[in-house]
Amino acid sequence: MRVALAIVLPLAAALLQGTVVPSMTVADARPNLVTLVAASWAVAAGPREAVWWAFLGGVATDLLSGGPLGALALAGLLPVALAGMGDQQLRPRSVLAGALVVALASAATSVLYYVILAIVGASLPDAARLLALTISGAAYNGVLAIATYPLCRALHRSTEKQASFGW
């Protein structure tokens, strides 16, 4: 079940990123669904599986968008890993704390993505516009994480129980 989740959810996020997200723009803010899903999983389940989610979803998004192949995958690895490195206490994080971590991971992913685009010579808007896009996108992902993180936490718990029973 966990393997299926690790394939289906990042690929679905990448597909939705290219098809649905353009119509989800609010005041020029767009979510990054791949980072949202991967960072939410990282907060819920830890970084081990989540970095694969970020990598697979990032490569799929790059393939679908025509952007530099591997740019989003590379940009998302470190922020998603760090999102899952928080305290591993027995009690799960609160929804608001999890959403804040997802928002921070989203902002870091955006910054790294823009740096990678600059390195490969892609045309970018001015720094003020990039900052506005980074902050608004991170805020958008943070708001969406209020729903996404609890879903990932529930999925993690249910798949963890199945794994412990040998399913």
pLDDT in tens, the chain (167 residues): 678 888 999 999 999 999 999 898 888 899 999 999 999 999 999 999 999 999 999 999 999 998 899 999 999 999 999 999 876 554 567 999 999 999 999 999 999 999 999 999 999 999 999 999 999 999 999 999 999 999 999 999 888 766 554 54
> Could you tell me the pTM of the whole model?
0.91
The DSSP 8-state label assigned to residue 159 in this structure reads H
How far is the C-alpha of 134 from the C-alpha of 47, rounded, in Å? 23
Predicted pLDDT at 135:
97
What pLDDT, on the 0 to 100 scale, is given for residue 90?
Answer: 47
d(CA 53, CA 50): 5
Give pLDDT, residue 162. 60
Reading the block at residue 160, the tokens are 């963890």
pLDDT of residue 32: 97
pLDDT at 116: 97
Q: Please, what sign has the CA dihedral across residues 80, 164, 96, 3? A: positive
User: For 69-75, which contacts have Cβ atoms below 8 Å and span 24 or more sequence positions?
Assistant: 71/113, 71/116, 71/117, 71/120, 72/34, 72/109, 72/113, 74/112, 74/116, 75/109, 75/110, 75/112, 75/113, 75/115, 75/116
Q: What is the pLDDT of residue 93?
A: 79
Instruction: Please tell me the distance from the alpha carbon of residue 95 to that of residue 150, in angstroms, as a whole number.
Output: 7
pLDDT at 86: 73
DSSP 29: B
Amino acid identity, position 110: S
What pLDDT, on the 0 to 100 scale, is given for residue 92? 63
Q: Which pLDDT score, from 0 to 100, does residue 122 have? A: 93
d(CA 115, CA 138): 16
- Of 144, 114, 141, 108, whose CA–CA distance to 126 is shortest? 114
